[in-house]
Structure 1
Amino acid sequence: MEKQTMLTRTCYYHHQLCFAFLFSFLFFTLLLCFHYSSSFNNAPTFLLNNNNQVNPITDFCTGRYVYIHEIPTSFNYYFLHNCNSLTRGTDTPNMCPYMENLGFGPNIHNIQGLFTNTSCTSTSTWYATNQFSLEVIFHNKMKKYECLTNDSSLANAIFVPYYAGLDVSQFLWVSNITIRDSSGKELLQWLVKRDEWKKMWGMDHFLVSGRISWDLRRQFDNESYWGSKFRFLPESMNMSMLAVEASSWKNDYAIPYPTSFHPSSKTEVLQWQSKMRLQERPYLFTFTGAPRPELKGSIRGIVIEQCLGSSACKFINCSYGSGEKCDDPVNVMKVFSNSVFCLQPPGDSYTRRSIFDSMLGGCVPVFFHPGTAYSQYKWFLPNNRTKYSVYIPVKDVKEWNVNVEKVLIGISQDEAVAMREEVIKLIPNIIYANHKSKIDKFEDAFDLAVKGILERIEEVREAMRNGRDPSIGFADEDHYKYTFSDNHS
């Protein structure tokens, strides 16, 4: 009896020991998996192979990590809460409706049959997006970027979510230049005190502007000059900026204006592209815009005159009070999708949002100046401009006597179809997607912009590793950027 009791106790103790060993093994395995998962999300991971040799696991995010600076809310979220005082680019302030849906703006509900027979009628695809909302759109997309890191020491780039364009829009018409410059100076004072700044003295920092770079590059401290001088402040010159239009300084880079198409999946993009391929186009060419009689050397007056004089051209007058509803995405997209060619002369500045709206509609852009696209959107458009566009250089308006209609009629139908196909293929490159799922993801303008700036920053690091001064040429002015070079003429 005593022997049986001892045997039972021994089995019980052995059972306990086995259970403890099994529990420890499972706990250790779980801990190891958790450690591996955490390591993979933050830095390259290493494991041992059968020969006890270290094998590196390729990290998908190597070279792509971005750290978002948690800057004071007075430099970004403040503008969302006080959006009624911000200009939307017309005579009426109030950007509040355009702050909806993470900066995409209000859903477009009245689609008037434009998107018939496609799933693009989804209210999560088309929005009344304002071009000045790009800073908000980019910030919200960056929050979902797949290679974010909370450890700035691992970051390949530091994103500064300063809404520079929204900020300066409050004071563009204020004569006091001290007021215009104050916010930017305060931000830079905050940044230079951070440890992240000292790593590369700001050369790995970048920000985004929904306004053209020139609005932030006032060259003289004179009240009669436009904009702020934020980008000419010494600390800011160490940073890079992505804007809808780049200046002639080398640390400014152009990214597409936001359109109203923000698909959630690649499928929606493919369906829209298919529709644009089959779209009937009764107009040979179109111009959507307003005259600029106050601008000396502007080609717009001649373009409008030629368009009005041609039965093959559709003119949409976007002058205030014209009643054409040029800020209505549906109205604009109907015209572009019904046209073979879309004229894109410079306006108040070199670039136009219309470039991307028209390309979204499958319309082949016609450019008159290299600064409108060719020397701007190099990360997004092909180097070979003849594949997707028509170029009619206007070096001097007074001496220009080209008939646009004759030039376009001279392009064969096969050539026009081939160019349109290239334009349609480029649609993913020029839109900012509304990625709600990673299952059907595609590379959009945001992805290409981040890839471009990461490559730029890596070039700076490479210069530092090789003992060169990275500041040489970093923020220099490119005097030839907007000239009619041999590549563009």
Structure 2
Amino acid sequence: MKRHNAAELPVPVSYGSERDAKTGKVDKMGGAKQGRGGGCCSLLWFMLVLSATVTMLVRHCYDSGLGQGAAGVVRIDPVPRPSYHTRKVNPVDRGGGRPSFSGSSPSPPVAGSMKPMLDSGGGSPSFSGHSPSPPDAGSAKPELLHESGGTASVPVTVDNKSSPSDSSTGTESDGGGEPSSTSSLPAAAHPFARALAAADDKGDRCGGRYVYVQELPPRFNTDMVKNCATLFPWTDMCAFTANGGFGPQMSGGDGGVFQETGWYNSDQYTVDIIFHDRIRRYECLTDDPSLAAAVYVPFFAGLEVARHLWGFNVTTRDAMALEVVDIITARPEWRAMGGRDHFFTAGRTTWDFRRLNDGDADWGSKLFCLPAINNMTALVVEASPWHLNDAAIPFPTAFHPASDEAVFVWQDKIRRLERPWLFSFAGAARPGSAKSIRSELIAQCRASSICSLMECADGPSNKCGSPASYMRLFQSSTFCLQPQGDSYTRKSAFDAMLAGCIPVFFHPGTAYVQYTWHLPKNHADYSVYISEDDVRRNASIEERLRRIPPATVERMRETIIALIPTVVYAQPSSKLDTMKDAFDVTMDAIIDKVTRLRRDIVEGHAEEEKLEMYSWKYPLLREGQKVDDPHEWDPLFAFA
């Protein structure tokens, strides 16, 4: 790990004249006073003053950049911070407009329900409970925006009190605003100028990649892992928080389904721990925030909210969210960009953090509804299609390779497998949801001689209870059906890809508008899309899949096999040499996002005014396309 200490770099030094403590007069000679006697003392004082003057001149030249040849670091003088303004968005988004679905989505859990759903991840039981689904057109729709129902220009509230403005910096004192998208200041005048200069330093292998870790008390992170028995009301999570969040190690290859090493029974909601463990070993950490390309906030938001989703009032659910905002917005690192260079993990679905009302029966916390958090990048396993600053990253799978060779061996294995089933489905029906198409999928699979069905259920009859069971199914199938889970997404989609099984999606919210950093923009390269409406109209899934030419199937499988490194989380104690895993891809995307924003500010480019109601569409745009151009999925993400 390369840790960059600020003490190793030249820093701005202020050289001022000394002031006499009694008279208050400034002594231009640095405090040296000559007496009337002259003589040897006068000569001695003259030599001392001359020496001090030469030393000051040399240090001044160094600080001015004349002495930096070897270090390659430009001195950045302290300057007034740039003014901030709040991002403009479409009024329907901030003003309480309600998104609606014309597609299907399962219903949210009943308030006060104490029973977790099993099939949240491709056959494997979820030991962390499930999230409410996004709203659909036929249900009472929760707001997906700020809890205030007003415009984005409201100040950040901490502990339910508005913070006053800081007139000296032009910011709100809690940092709720954002940097101006245009600037007349020179590049060196920006508080992030050193970070941009480092990015241009070709001699620094970490230039442009430094990450500063924010300081937080351990109760916001590691204390939760120490108290793992309290993370979930029905299951002791200590087994699944072990091994850096990977969970219990699986050995012996389980009858040839896995390799001998690198496989774990990972829970789908431990991304907070996995990321933290990797950040601790990140090779380009720095102790100097002015050099950082991004700032990591080690708040385990996913673990924290899971402790209080069932049986706790909203005051308890929001307490730590409000506290962490209070802490990070008071830090000097926040001032540089109003938090837009900050990121954190919230390893559950976005819906667990978007409660707008303050009734105890309403689901989740309001963490993502706090304006300060909307300036940051929140890493979740499922993002909102209507919000710009949460980003979806892959669910953890069972594979956590320790080397490139482990990945190559696995890729070769699944490339050679015989796949007797054309398609398969692992999951449970949703009899209580009128919108779910799972019953139709199960019926079609049962009626087909070339489909394998693995039904999940409560109790001992559950066939999806271990990673080996559903991974064996996926390894024997060409296509794997991936309908929506308890919300849009399913861990099962990543399990299927890990097995070399081509996923079949029925709603774009399950993958296409989610994992845009990790999956190809052209979804036809690696998957099949059949709309939910087609399934409801009794379109034959078997016929659709049979019509795909063998050469196309082979090309799609090779694309999936090549994607495997980017959708798994490698061992933190080792490093993949020739490939990037899900963590690496995520870090590159965050740093690129912050760096582009900083360069736009320095160059005076106006930041693109994005409408959050079209957040799902921006990553899909191709050359020359506009966000308001018609898209086939517009009805699925339409605002009522």
| TM bucket normalised to smaller | 0.7 to 0.9
CA distances 1:257-278 after superposition (whole Å, capped 9, x unpaired): 1111001100110010000000
What residue identity is the alignment partner of 2:222?
Answer: Y
What residue identity is the alignment partner of 2:631?
Answer: S
Aligned residues: 436
- Contact residue 298 and residue 397 of structure 1 kept, 8 A: no
Equivalences for residues 204-353 of structure 1 within 5 A? 204-248=341-385, 249-321=387-459, 323-353=461-491
Q: SS of the counterpart of 1:207?
A: strand
Select which of 92, 95, 102 maps to 2:234: 92
Q: SS of the counterpart of 2:405?
A: helix
2:206 maps to 61
Q: Which has the higher contact order (CA 8 A, sep 6+)?
A: 2
Equivalences for residues 321-470 of structure 1 within 5 A? 321=459, 323-395=461-533, 398=536, 400-438=537-575, 440=577, 442-467=579-604
- Contact residue 402 and residue 576 of structure 2 kept, 8 A: no
Q: 1:172: Cα distance to partner?
A: 1.1
Q: Given the superposition, is the C-alpha separation of residues 478 and 227 from structure 1 closer, same or farther in structure 2, using an over 3 Å criterion?
A: farther
Provide the rounded CA distance (Å) in 2 between the counterparts of 1:470 and 1:72: 35
Q: Given the superposition, is the C-alpha separation of residues 295 and 469 from structure 1 closer, same or farther in structure 2, using an over 3 Å criterion?
A: farther
Select which of 236, 246, 249 maps to 1:104: 246
Q: Given the superposition, is the C-alpha separation of residues 148 and 106 from structure 1 closer, same or farther in structure 2, using an over 3 Å criterion?
A: same
Q: SS of the counterpart of 1:285?
A: strand
2:279 maps to 142
Provide the rounded CA distance (Å) in 1 between the counterparts of 2:361 and 2:272: 27
Provide the rounded CA distance (Å) in 2 between the counterparts of 1:202 and 1:282: 52
Provide the rounded CA distance (Å) in 1 between the counterparts of 2:633 and 2:433: 27
Q: 1:93: Cα distance to partner?
A: 2.1
Q: Is there any run of 5+ residues in structure 1 with no aligned partner, and where?
A: 1-33, 40-44, 50-54
CA distances 1:208-233 after superposition (whole Å, capped 9, x unpaired): 12201111111322333211110011
CA distances 1:149-182 after superposition (whole Å, capped 9, x unpaired): 1111111100111111110011112351111111
**Which stretch shifts more, 253-262 or 460-469?**
460-469
CA distances 1:166-199 after superposition (whole Å, capped 9, x unpaired): 1001111235111111111011111111111111
What residue identity is the alignment partner of 1:384?
Answer: N
Select which of 464, 469, 476 maps to 2:612: 476
Q: SS of the counterpart of 2:598?
A: helix
**Which stretch shifts more, 357-366 or 456-465?**
456-465
2:183 maps to none
Q: 1:46: Cα distance to partner?
A: 4.8
What residue identity is the alignment partner of 2:247?
Answer: G
Q: Given the superposition, is the C-alpha separation of residues 485 and 292 from structure 1 closer, same or farther in structure 2, using an over 3 Å criterion?
A: farther
- Contact residue 257 and residue 468 of structure 2 kept, 8 A: no
Provide the rounded CA distance (Å) in 2 between the counterparts of 1:470 and 1:166: 34
**Which stretch shifts more, 322-331 or 373-382?**
322-331
Provide the rounded CA distance (Å) in 1 between the counterparts of 2:270 and 2:568: 14
Q: SS of the counterpart of 2:556?
A: helix
TM-score, length of structure 2 as denominator length: 0.64
CA distances 1:417-466 after superposition (whole Å, capped 9, x unpaired): 22111111110110101143447453111000011111111233234324
Verify: 1:170 aligned to 2:307, yes or no. Answer: yes
Q: Given the superposition, is the C-alpha separation of residues 397 and 413 from structure 1 closer, same or farther in structure 2, using an over 3 Å criterion?
A: closer
Q: Given the superposition, is the C-alpha separation of residues 337 and 365 from structure 1 closer, same or farther in structure 2, using an over 3 Å criterion?
A: same
Provide the rounded CA distance (Å) in 2 between the counterparts of 1:57 and 1:230: 39
1:26 maps to none
1:486 maps to 632
- Contact residue 300 and residue 347 of structure 1 kept, 8 A: no
Q: 1:402: Cα distance to partner?
A: 1.1
TM-score, length of structure 1 as denominator length: 0.83
- Contact residue 317 and residue 324 of structure 1 kept, 8 A: yes
Provide the rounded CA distance (Å) in 1 between the counterparts of 2:576 and 2:375: 38
Q: Given the superposition, is the C-alpha separation of residues 147 and 83 from structure 1 closer, same or farther in structure 2, using an over 3 Å criterion?
A: same
What residue identity is the alignment partner of 1:98?
Answer: F
What residue identity is the alignment partner of 2:260?
Answer: T
Q: 1:319: Cα distance to partner?
A: 2.1
Q: Is there any run of 5+ residues in structure 2 with no aligned partner, and where?
A: 10-67, 73-199, 621-629
- Contact residue 138 and residue 208 of structure 1 kept, 8 A: yes
Provide the rounded CA distance (Å) in 2 between the counterparts of 1:272 and 1:210: 27
Equivalences for residues 150-169 of structure 1 within 5 A? 150-169=287-306
Provide the rounded CA distance (Å) in 2 between the counterparts of 1:219 and 1:308: 42
What residue identity is the alignment partner of 2:426?
Answer: T
Select which of 217, 220, 225 maps to 1:72: 217
Q: Given the superposition, is the C-alpha separation of residues 110 and 58 from structure 1 closer, same or farther in structure 2, using an over 3 Å criterion?
A: same
- Contact residue 171 and residue 180 of structure 1 kept, 8 A: yes
What residue identity is the alignment partner of 1:363?
Answer: C
Provide the rounded CA distance (Å) in 2 between the counterparts of 1:204 and 1:471: 17
CA distances 1:100-141 after superposition (whole Å, capped 9, x unpaired): 11111111025322257xxx312xx01111111111001101
Provide the rounded CA distance (Å) in 2 between the counterparts of 1:326 and 1:439: 31
1:4 maps to none
CA distances 1:329-364 after superposition (whole Å, capped 9, x unpaired): 111211111111000000211111001111000000
What residue identity is the alignment partner of 2:276?
Answer: H
What residue identity is the alignment partner of 1:301?
Answer: S
Provide the rounded CA distance (Å) in 2 between the counterparts of 1:240 and 1:103: 21
Q: SS of the counterpart of 2:422?
A: strand
Provide the rounded CA distance (Å) in 2 between the counterparts of 1:299 and 1:438: 41
Of all paired residues, the percent bearing the same amino acid is 43
Q: Given the superposition, is the C-alpha separation of residues 339 and 81 from structure 1 closer, same or farther in structure 2, using an over 3 Å criterion?
A: same
Q: 1:288: Cα distance to partner?
A: 1.0
2:260 maps to 121
CA distances 1:315-335 after superposition (whole Å, capped 9, x unpaired): 111222263342411112111
- Contact residue 484 and residue 507 of structure 2 kept, 8 A: yes
2:28 maps to none
Provide the rounded CA distance (Å) in 2 between the counterparts of 1:471 and 1:413: 43
- Contact residue 371 and residue 481 of structure 1 kept, 8 A: no
- Contact residue 457 and residue 463 of structure 2 kept, 8 A: no
Q: Given the superposition, is the C-alpha separation of residues 481 and 298 from structure 1 closer, same or farther in structure 2, using an over 3 Å criterion?
A: farther
Q: SS of the counterpart of 2:345?
A: strand
Provide the rounded CA distance (Å) in 1 between the counterparts of 2:531 and 2:576: 44
Q: SS of the counterpart of 1:365?
A: strand
Q: Given the superposition, is the C-alpha separation of residues 325 and 145 from structure 1 closer, same or farther in structure 2, using an over 3 Å criterion?
A: farther
